[in-house]
Amino acid sequence: MAGVQVANVSRSFGAHKALDNVSIDFADGGFYALLGPSGSGKTTLLRQIAGFDFPDAGRIAIGGESVERVPVEKRRIGMVFQNYALFPNMSVADNVAFGLSVRGEPKATIAAEVQRALDLVQLGKLGGRKPHQLSGGQRQRVALARAIVTKPRVLLLDEPLGALDKALRVDMQIELKRIQREIGITTIFVTHDQEEALTMSDRIGILRDGRLVQEGPPEEIYDRPQSEFAATFLGDANIFRGDATGSGIKLPDGTTIAASTGASVPAGAKASCAVRPERIRISTGAAEPDPAGANMLTGQVSKRIFAGNNSTYFVDRDGQTLKVIVQNTGAERLAEGEPVVLSWSPDSTVLVAAA
Amino acid sequence: MAMTRILEWLGRFYIVLLLGFLYLPIIIMAAMSFNASPFYQLPFEWTTDWYASLWQNDQLIAATWNSIEIAIITTLISTVLGSMASLALYRYEFRGKKVLQALLFPPIAIPWLITGTAMLIFFFGVGIGRGLIAILLGHVALALPYVIVVVSARLQTFAPELEEAARSLGANQWQVTMRVTLPWIMPGVIAGGLFAFAVSFDQFVVSYFLSTPGQTTLPVEIYAAIRKGFTPEINAVSTIIIVVSMALMLLTARFFKFGGEK
């Protein structure tokens, strides 16, 4: 087991900069998600760590040992591929045994280790099957067992749950997390699914156009995004754009929005505020007054989507549609077309420099 | 109702006609190899004399062995070289790859007569001359493109992540090839090998150009024998070859389930 350090790694394919000076420290034993839209460089980064491809510049170290010029077969990593990449000509047990067998381990050791790995992923009885006789979830488990049976220093997962349906995906998320905790292996997980990144990982790195946009624990990125992109890519956010005032921003129509978290942007510069939909209070304005200092806007409900435990209101305000999520507490629901007051605390408002 | 029955009947008739067209000449030839009359005269009179005299025909037997040996060696060489070439074309990007791939097809289309002439001139030029070695080299050159085309087609269905997965598990290039890639392309390699065998064993034109009177292959020997005067021994040797090659084909088809992917 070992941590992974990526320092100033760049990689170009022709004129395209797939990775641009990326540095991340993956702590030993942590579960790390690399999150980003397609083309953001997350898979390229994973392939550099795996050793399928070498960086043009920068350092990669696994367990303190420089590996940026070491080919994949000598890096002692475990990898799970998007489409599992199980060997179709081999049985499940032979698939799992492959890594030990190419190392020339004795047959008895291999058989015992393979059985242990299959038991760990709860497929102890299916060793004799061929991959095509398994369901998607089972193939996923075999791929995982095959990747960890060699006791790699780091486990790399390339969108491993992408091919599964929703219900199975949630099961596998829990399962994957359980196995990762059980063996305590440093895990780096590439995904474009923000929910998956939020629920599974200890830390998240958000990538965009080959650059690391923000990095930290999920709570920190969600509560204190450092850019409009981070705010909107990880979760939903209402974005207000205007000029920085020193304590918030002033919108083009003169309304001021106070923000007490986020970056410090010099007054007069372009800046944005991000507010999560569930942090906004929506009311007809007649009820109890908002606490002093709260941000307040008026608008009109354009649409309401009822989802059982909550409702999403779309509120039109000066050409902008704001999103508000209200828990179903039994309170009276607002009708479409109704004029409303939106209010939220400056503590829930994150100031970010303009994109 | 009646219409369907007529169509059904026509369909059956068509199949019989087709099979007759394919197999009747062969069946007649096989029958004549057991007929006593050397001039195909009827009534049919059973004999195995032609097989017995075939046994005495040293020249024909020598040519048969030559053909078999050359076909087997051609198959081995062209299958190994062709599969390696296919893997290289699949795995690596290099200058002139597109040109090289394009150049693989024309030899299949160039008439054998022209290839044969070219080879004859070339082999004389480089001092190999005519003979069994020249025939072997010629056959390998003819068979290679077939193997490469068939194996490459099979490789197109191979998922490159499989090689990556094997490497991530610590397998070196040799282990990846032998344990992951080769098992996948095996049906293609075997089909390519069968092609190579057929190209060599059937080959008349190029063999004719490159053989010397004492050292020749079966098709050339048969041609020479027919020119001297037809004997039913030719029917006998042809019948043996048909039986053996059909048995081989049926066995291969049974073991490797061509076309069907599990």
List of chain A residues whose C-beta atoms are within 8 Å of the C-beta of residue B167: 52, 71-73
- Asked if residue A230 is part of any domain, the answer here is no
The alpha carbon of B153 is separated from its chain's Cα centroid by a whole number of angstroms, namely 18
pLDDT at residue A157, rounded to an integer: 93
Task: Identify the CA nearest to B119 among candidates B25, B207, B45.
Answer: B207
| Chain A CA closest to residue B178 | A102
List of chain B residues whose C-beta atoms are within 8 Å of the C-beta of residue A86: 165
SS3 A328: coil
Q: Which two tokens stand for residue B73?
A: 């060696």
Q: Does A71 touch chain B (CB under 8 A)?
A: yes
**Which of A189, A223, A257 is the last residue before a domain boundary?**
A223
**Which of A170, A202, A223 is the last residue before a domain boundary?**
A223
**Which of A223, A248, A275 is the last residue before a domain boundary?**
A223
Q: Does A132 touch chain B (CB under 8 A)?
A: yes
The arithmetic mean of pLDDT across residues A115-126, rounded, is 89
| Chain B CA closest to residue A101 | B171
d(Cα A210, Cα A223) in Å, to the nearest integer? 24
For residue B72, the surrounding DSSP H or E stretch is helix B58-91
| Chain A CA closest to residue B180 | A87
Q: Do residues A336 and A314 share a domain?
A: yes
d(Cα A19, Cα A11) in Å, to the nearest integer? 5
The arithmetic mean of pLDDT across residues A274-281, rounded, is 92
DSSP state of A332: P
The alpha carbon of B119 is separated from its chain's Cα centroid by a whole number of angstroms, namely 20
List of chain A residues whose C-beta atoms are within 8 Å of the C-beta of residue B93: none
Q: Are strands A349-353 and A281-283 parallel, antiparallel or unpaired?
A: unpaired
The arithmetic mean of pLDDT across residues A271-276, rounded, is 92
Q: Does B189 touch chain A (CB under 8 A)?
A: no
pLDDT at residue A59, rounded to an integer: 94
Residues 144-203 of chain A whose Cβ lies under 8 A from any Cβ of chain B: 146-147, 150
- Asked if residue A83 is part of any domain, the answer here is yes
Instruction: Look up the domain containing A242 and give its range.
Output: 236-353
SS3 A264: coil
pLDDT at residue A109, rounded to an integer: 92
List of chain A residues whose C-beta atoms are within 8 Å of the C-beta of residue B166: 87, 98, 102
d(Cα A61, Cα B45) in Å, to the nearest integer? 87
Q: Do B170 and A99 touch (CB under 8 A)?
A: yes
> Which tens digit of pLDDT belongs to each residue from B66-76?
889 999 999 99
Quote the mean pLDDT of chain A: 89
Cα angle A223, A225, A229 (rounded to 5 degrees) comes to 135
Q: Which two tokens stand for residue B70?
A: 């050359």
List of chain A residues whose C-beta atoms are within 8 Å of the C-beta of residue B175: 102
pLDDT at residue A286 above 70? Answer: no
Q: Do residues A168 and A271 share a domain?
A: no
Calculate how close chain A gets to B87, using CA atoms only, in Å: 18
d(Cα A12, Cα A56) in Å, to the nearest integer? 7
- Asked if residue A65 is part of any domain, the answer here is yes
| Chain A CA closest to residue B165 | A85
- Asked if residue A172 is part of any domain, the answer here is yes
pLDDT at residue A194, rounded to an integer: 87
Phi, psi of A122 (to 5 degrees): 60, 40
Q: Do A150 and B183 touch (CB under 8 A)?
A: no
> Which tens digit of pLDDT belongs to each residue from A159-216?
888 777 888 888 888 888 888 988 899 999 999 888 888 888 999 999 999 999 999 9
Q: Do B168 and A103 touch (CB under 8 A)?
A: no
pLDDT at residue B14, rounded to an integer: 93
pLDDT at residue B259, rounded to an integer: 45
Residues of chain B with pLDDT under 70: 1, 255-262
Q: Which two tokens stand for residue A67?
A: 């590996």
- Asked if residue A231 is part of any domain, the answer here is no
Q: Do residues A150 and A272 share a domain?
A: no
Q: Are strands A154-158 and A77-80 parallel, antiparallel or unpaired?
A: parallel
pLDDT at residue B218, rounded to an integer: 87
d(Cα A142, Cα A252) in Å, to the nearest integer? 57
Task: Identify the CA nearest to B173 among candidates A71, A219, A170, A225.
Answer: A71
pLDDT at residue A290, rounded to an integer: 64
Q: Do residues A76 and A213 share a domain?
A: yes
> Which tens digit of pLDDT belongs to each residue from A5-35?
999 999 999 889 999 999 999 999 999 999 9
pLDDT at residue B262, rounded to an integer: 40
Q: Do residues A267 and A211 share a domain?
A: no
Q: Are strands A154-158 and A186-191 parallel, antiparallel or unpaired?
A: parallel
Contact A234, A241 (CB under 8 A): no
d(Cα B234, Cα B57) in Å, to the nearest integer? 11
Residues in Cβ contact with B114 at an 8 Å cutoff, skipping those fewer than 6 apart: none
pLDDT at residue A255, rounded to an integer: 85
Contact B199, B115 (CB under 8 A): no
Instruction: Reduce the secondary structure of A75-115 to three states and give it as a string.
Output: CCEEEECCCCCCCCCCCHHHHHHHHHHHCCCCHHHHHHHHH
Contact A313, A299 (CB under 8 A): no
> Which tens digit of pLDDT belongs to each residue from A218-255?
999 999 999 999 998 888 899 999 888 888 888 888 88
Q: Do residues A128 and A30 share a domain?
A: yes
> Which tens digit of pLDDT belongs to each residue from B165-222?
999 999 999 999 999 999 999 988 988 898 898 889 888 888 888 888 778 888 888 8
For residue B224, the surrounding DSSP H or E stretch is helix B218-228
List of chain B residues whose C-beta atoms are within 8 Å of the C-beta of residue A144: none
For residue A140, the surrounding DSSP H or E stretch is helix A136-148
Residues in Cβ contact with B64 at an 8 Å cutoff, skipping those fewer than 6 apart: B218, B221, B237, B241
Q: Do residues A205 and A274 share a domain?
A: no
Query: Could you say which of B159, B167, B170 has the minimum Cβ distance to residue A103?
Result: B170
Contact A103, B180 (CB under 8 A): no
pLDDT at residue A86, rounded to an integer: 93
pLDDT at residue A288 above 70? Answer: no
Which of B157, B168, B172, B261 to mutate to probe the A interface, most A CBs <10 Å?
B168
SS3 B86: helix
- Asked if residue A228 is part of any domain, the answer here is no
d(Cα B147, Cα B137) in Å, to the nearest integer? 15
Look at the alpha carbons of B70, B71, B72, B73 in this order and tell me if their dihedral is positive or negative: positive
Q: Which two tokens stand for residue A347?
A: 């503590």
| Maximum alpha-carbon separation in chain B | 73
d(Cα B10, Cα B2) in Å, to the nearest integer? 12
> Which tens digit of pLDDT belongs to each residue from A55-108?
999 999 999 899 989 999 999 999 999 889 999 989 999 999 999 999 999 999
DSSP state of A286: S
| Chain B CA closest to residue A103 | B170
Which of B93, B169, B177 to mutate to probe the A interface, most A CBs <10 Å?
B169
Total number of domains in chain A: 2
Model pTM score: 0.79
Q: Do residues A247 and A205 share a domain?
A: no
Contact A345, A258 (CB under 8 A): no
Instruction: Reduce the secondary structure of B100-113 to three states and give it as a string.
Output: HHHHCCHHHHCCHH
> Which tens digit of pLDDT belongs to each residue from A314-351?
999 888 899 999 998 887 788 888 899 888 998 889 99
Q: Do residues A277 and A218 share a domain?
A: no
Q: Which two tokens stand for residue A222?
A: 């969600």
Q: Do residues A218 and A244 share a domain?
A: no
Q: What is the dihedral of CA B9, B12, B16, B18, to 10 degrees?
A: 110
Q: Which two tokens stand for residue A162?
A: 């992408």
Q: Do residues A178 and A325 share a domain?
A: no
d(Cα B207, Cα B142) in Å, to the nearest integer? 11
List of chain B residues whose C-beta atoms are within 8 Å of the C-beta of residue A48: none
List domains and CATH numbers for chain B: 57-256 (1.10.3720.10)
DSSP state of A166: H
The predicted complex's ipTM stands at 0.83
Q: Which two tokens stand for residue B116?
A: 């044969």
pLDDT at residue A39, rounded to an integer: 87
Q: Which two tokens stand for residue B182?
A: 């080769």
Whichever domain contains A139, its CATH number is 3.40.50.300
Q: Do residues A288 and A204 share a domain?
A: no
- Asked if residue A229 is part of any domain, the answer here is no
How much of chain B, in percent, has pLDDT values that exceed 70? 96
Whichever domain contains A244, its CATH number is 2.40.50.100
- Asked if residue A49 is part of any domain, the answer here is yes
Q: Do B172 and A73 touch (CB under 8 A)?
A: yes
